[in-house]
Amino acid sequence: MEMKRKKQKVLIGSAVRQSPEILKEFLESLNELDKDNYKVDYYFIDNNDQKASKELLETFAKSLNSSKGQSNKNRSKVIIHHEENDDKYECNEITHHWNHKLIWKVAEFKDRILKYSSKNDYDFVFLVDSDLVLHPKTLKQLVDSEKDIVSEIFWTRWKPNTQELPQVWLYDQYTMYKNPAGLSLNEKEIQAATESFLQKLKKPGLYEVGGLGACTLISKKAIQKGVSFKEINNISFWGEDRHFCVRAAALGFKLYVDTHYPAYHIYRASDLNGIDAYKKNQAVRAVDNQEAQYMFVYDKETLANAIKHFLLGYMYCDYRIITGYEEHSLIFPKYAARFSQVREKMVDWLIENKVICSAQIKDIELPADITEKGQVFAKVKFTLKGRSIQGEFEKQYLCNMFLDRFANDWKISFFSFYNDKGMNILGFTLADILQERERRNKEIGNKLTLAMMVRNEAGNLLERVLSHAAKYIDKAVILDDASDDNTVEICEKVLSGIPTRIISNRESGFRNEINLRKQLWDMTVETDPDWILCLDADEIFEDSIIDHIGSLINQPNFDYYAFRLYDFWNESQYREDKLWQAHRFYRPFLVRYQPNFDYIWNEKPLHCGRFPMNITQLEGCQCNIRLRHYGWATPALREKKYKRYMELDPEGMYGNINQYRSILDPRPNLIDWK
C-alpha cells in the first residue's frame, strides 16, 4: 500500500494596517490561493486604525475556522494578534511616508511571525504585505522553486504616471545594475544595464537578486539559521527588508525572485481600479505563460502629470518623517547617485531647521507635440509653502528641465532651479532650494585660469606644456614646490604675455600631496576665477581644445567637464592593460568656480585628487577631447616615479601596489595614438 505524502506546513503571515477597501482584495486573493498540497495557517498582526479593517480580519478568521468538509486536523488556523496603534503613517495618492520608529516596529512584527513558525515547526513562512493581490498559483510556484528565500515579483509606480519598478534589486539601497568590479560607469552604461535588468524581470523565470521583500517565501532552514528583520546597527540602509537581505546573504543564503505570476500592488487607492484588468491579464498569462507586455504611452497631458507628481513628491518635507527614494523613478540614475551622496547632509539641515513644506504647481510649459521627440524641454513654475525655525514662508520658483525618451518612458536628464528674482540656485535638493545660495552661470565673457603645480621641471616637458596651454588660457596660477633649477624662469618666459601668479615654497612638500593641492586651490580661488583648468606639468590636450574651449566655458548649464587621460609610454603610444586604463574613464579637469559650494577634499597624502572630491555633485558633462599624459613617456621618468611611489606608499595604502610594480614591466601592451 502506497503511503500518503505528508503535506508541507506553510504559515502565511502579514502585519496589517490597511484600508478596508484594499484589505478586502488582499484577503480574497489569499482565499483563492491554490493550497491543495499544503497545510496552510495564517498569522495576522492587527495594527489597524480602522474598525472596518479589524472586522474584515475577524470575518476572514471565522470563515476559515468554520469551513465545512474539513477535519479539525486539516482546517486552517488563523491567529490574530492585536496591537495598539499609536504611530503616524502617512499614505496618500502621491506616496507613502514611513518614520524610523514604525519601520522597526514592523520589523519586530515580522520577526514575531518567524519565531512562531519556528516554534510550531512550519516548513515555510510566506510573508505578504496586505496591499497585494496574489495570483492563485503564487504559493505553489514559490514552494516548487525549492529556494530558501524567494519572492514573487510585483511592479509599482512609486509616483503616479511614472515607470513601473520592481520590489527587487541587485545591490545596495535600490541599484538595478551590476558593477561587481566597482568600475566608473558612464550614464549610458548605467541606463543600458538597468534597462537590461528590468527587461529580464518581465520574462517568466527565476532569477538571483541582491534584495527583495514584501511577498517572500522563507524556508524552515533559513529561519533556523537566524534570518531576521532586526536592525543591523552598522549599516544605514533604509527599511527592514534591506537589513533582512544583508543578514541572509551573510548567513550564506542566495536571494531569488520568481516572475511567472506577478502580484498586483495596490499602492494607492486609485490602483483598486486596475484589479479587474490585472486578473484578466493574469488569466491569459496562466494559459500561455509568455512575456507580459509593459507599454508606457506618454501624451502631453500624461507627461505634464508625471512632472507634477514628481515635483510634489520631491519638494514635500516634514522633518518629523524620514522619506524614502520613490521620487527617483522619473530621474536619470546620475541624479539618484548624487542625491544619495548629499542625502545625509540635506536631511540634517531640514531637521535642524524643522522644515515642513509642500509644493503647489502653478504652470507646466511643454512643447505642443512630444510624440516624435527624443528630448523635451519643460518649464515648471511652482510655489513652496511651509514653515521652519525662521517662521512661515511662501516662495515662488522656476524649474527648467530636460526630459529624454528612454525605453518608451521619459526620464529627467537635467534640471535647474531659479528663485523669483531670476537667480540660479546652487544645488538640486530641497535644502539647496530653500537656502537659495547663488550659482554662477555666466554665459559670455568667461575667463579660463590655468592652475599648475611644478617642481624641477626644467629638463622635462614644461615649456612644451605651457606653450600649448598659452594658446587658449586667459590667466595662470603656478605653485612651485621649492624647485632648485630654472623651472620658475621657464614659467615666466612662456607665460610672459598672460597674467600669471607664481608662488614658490621654501621647502618641498611633495611627501604630502594633499597640502600642495589645497595650497594651489586656495591660491587660484583667491583670484576669483570663472573657470579653473588644473593640469600637471606633463599633460597636453589635443589641439581641438583651442577651437572649442570658448563654447565649453561660455554656457549656463554645466559646472565641470570630465575628460579621458591617456598614459603615454613614448611619444606616440599609450599603455593599455588591466592596470592601465585611465583613458576608459572620464575625470574632471575643468571646473567652474562656485564660491557658495561647500568643497570637500579627499584627505590623504597621496593620490588625493587635483580637485575637491565632491566636485561631481555639481552638474557636469563628459567631453571627448582627449588629454595626453607624458609622465611615463621615458625610461628615466618611469624609474623616477617607481622609486617615488615605492618610497611614499610601499604597501599600496593610497594607490594600487600592483600598478606600482608594473611601472617597470619590460614589455607592456602599447597602442598607437590616432
Count of alpha carbons within 13 angstroms of residue 48, beta-carbon side: 22
More confident residue, 346 or 320: 346
* 158-167, 445-454, 600-609: least confidently modelled range: 158-167
Q: Which has the minimum average pLDDT: 128-142, 215-229, 367-381? A: 367-381
When comparing pLDDT for 496 and 47, which is higher? 496
Q: CB within 8 A of 86, min separation 6: which ones?
A: none
Choose between 244 and 234: higher pLDDT.
244
Sequence-separated (6 or more) residues with CB below 8 Å from residue 409:
162, 163, 296, 298
For every residue of 442-503, DSSP letters joined together read --SS--EEEEEEESS-TTTTHHHHHHHHTTT-SEEEEEE-S-SSSHHHHHHHHTTTS-EEEE
Q: Are domains 8-288 and 448-672 of this chain identical in fold?
A: yes
The DSSP 8-state label assigned to residue 2 in this structure reads P
Mean pLDDT for all residues in the chain: 87
Q: Which residue has the higher pLDDT, 28 or 178?
A: 28
Q: Tell me the residue type at 347.
A: V
| 337: helix, strand or coil | helix
If one counts every other C-beta atom within 10 angstroms of the C-beta of residue 628, the result is: 19
Do 530 and 422 touch, CB atoms closer than 8 A? no
Whether the predicted pLDDT of 631 surpasses 90: yes
Q: Stretch 589-599: mean pLDDT, rounded?
A: 97
pLDDT digits (tens, 9 = 90+) for 150-166: 999 999 887 766 678 89
Tell me if residue 140 falls in helix, strand or coil. helix
d(C-alpha 300, C-alpha 409), whole Å: 13
Contacts of 617 (CB under 8 A, 6+ apart): 338, 341, 342
Q: Which residues of 462-499 are buried (b: 16+ CB within 10 A; e: fewer)?
A: beebbebbbebbbbbbbbbbebeeebbebbeebbeeee
Superfamily (CATH) of domain 448-672: Spore Coat Polysaccharide Biosynthesis Protein SpsA; Chain A (3.90.550.10)
Residues 85/17, Cβ–Cβ less than 8 Å: yes
300-435: CATH architecture: Roll (3.10)
Question: What single DSSP character describes residue 94?
Answer: S
Full strand arrangement of the beta sheet holding 565-567 = 539-541, 627-629, 565-567
Other Cβ atoms within 10 Å of 593 Cβ, number: 18
> Residue 251: its pLDDT value, please?
95
Which tops the pLDDT comparison, 205 or 187?
205
Which has the minimum average pLDDT: 119-133, 189-203, 414-428, 544-558? 189-203
- Least Cα distance to 146 among 63, 221, 227, 88 occurs for 221
**Which has the minimum average pLDDT: 9-23, 312-326, 386-400, 627-641?**
312-326
Angle CA 343–349–352, to nearest 5: 135
Number of neighbouring beta carbons within 10 Å of residue 61: 17
Domain ranges of the chain: 8-288, 300-435, 448-672
H or E element that contains 539: strand 539-541
Residue 33 phi/psi, 5° resolution? -60, 145
CA dihedral 423, 428, 433, 439 (to 10 degrees): -30
Please report the pLDDT score of residue 273 as a whole number: 86
Confidence of residue 95 (pLDDT cuts 50, 70, 90): very low
**Distance in angstroms (rounded) separating the CA atoms of residues 574 and 581:** 10
For 302-367, where are the E strands, in sequence order? 317-318, 356-365
The larger pLDDT score, comparing residue 97 to residue 541, is at 541
* DSSP codes, 557-613: S-SEEEE-EEEBSSSSEEE-BTTB-GGGS-EEEEEE--TTS-------SSS--SS-T
Q: What is the DSSP letter of 525?
A: H
| Range with lowest mean pLDDT among 303-317, 327-341, 594-608 | 327-341
Residue 263: predicted pLDDT: 94
Instruction: Report which secondary-structure segment, H or E, holds 16.
Output: strand 8-16
**310 pLDDT above the threshold of 90:** no
Q: How many residues does the structure list for the chain?
A: 674
Cβ neighbours around 545 below 10 Å, total: 21
Q: What is the dihedral of CA 191, 194, 199, 204, to 10 degrees?
A: 180
Domain 8-288 has CATH 3.90.550.10: yes
Assign 3-state DSSP to the chain and report helix, strand, coil percentages, each to 5: 30, 25, 40
Highest mean pLDDT among 273-277, 392-396, 636-640, 649-653: 392-396
pTM: 0.60
